[in-house]
Amino acid sequence: MIKKFEIKSHDGPGRIGKIDGEVTPKLFSKNDLKIAPNQGSAYNIDREIAEFNVKETLRLAKEHVDECDTAVIQGSKYLDLRIECLKELQDIGYNGFIIANGDSLLTNPRDLVKLVVSLKKEAKKTSYFIFSFTELSFMPILAYMGIDGFLTDSANYYSHLNILQTPTKAYDLNSYKIYDNLTREELEKKNLENMEFVIREIHAHMKNRSLRNLVEERSGTTPQNISTLKILDRTQMDYLLEYTQLF
């Protein structure tokens, strides 16, 4: 049931690839994926609970491997549990992975960088990664680090919080009266349209080998964004240089 994924080229660690003929990075809808049942958990929890949730996630993934094509990497804030979860899921037969707790990771830049880079180093070349609940300004740097897709369900998620997602900022419409009488459904549509715009931006920059330029441009939009880029440059230079073209 797995989807065929192949890497076509790199722009830094960022990957231009194809999944069943569609170019990545791309947007994924949960309706388009057959996601294995998993034991979800909060990000900041006791290790014993996280260990139990990983064990249950692996059990459920194994039971449903014949009818599912995507699994969820659990493990909360514990890097070793996340890596263990990835390795076991790959051994079971999965190659598509959703990184759980995406919204919490965005507020913990050091954890975000360490997790994404570590997972990429441990993954097989046929494996691809999908990020959940991303803010749009983070999409370029996530793609730059090697994330291959983003769940469109984040458009729905943020619409329920009454938050407008734009390529550079997230606006709480309870505080910023940008639109009058905007329904939740209309807000979700706008959020999705902006997600699609950012994906087109990413594709254009990757085609021109200039994704790093877009990453630096967006890095100034939030403190978490600039922190993520600084931590990435300071702690993962070997990872970045491995795929950086010198000429």
> Of 226, 221, 213, which is closest to residue 170 (Cα–Cα)?
221
| pLDDT tops 70 at residue 222 | yes
- Sequence-distant (6+) residues with CB within 8 A of 48 are none
> Of 217, 247, 238, 241, which is closest to residue 229 (Cα–Cα)?
217
Record the pTM.
0.94
- pLDDT reported for residue 242: 85
- What is the arithmetic mean of pLDDT over 224-246? 89
Q: Which domains does the chain carry?
A: 5-239 (3.20.20.105)
Beta bridge partner(s), residue 71: 97
- pLDDT reported for residue 247: 45
| pLDDT tops 90 at residue 1 | no
Query: What is the distance between the alpha carbons of residues 131 and 27, in angstroms, rounded to a whole number?
Result: 10
Burial of 20 (0-12, 13-18, 19+ CB in 10 A): exposed
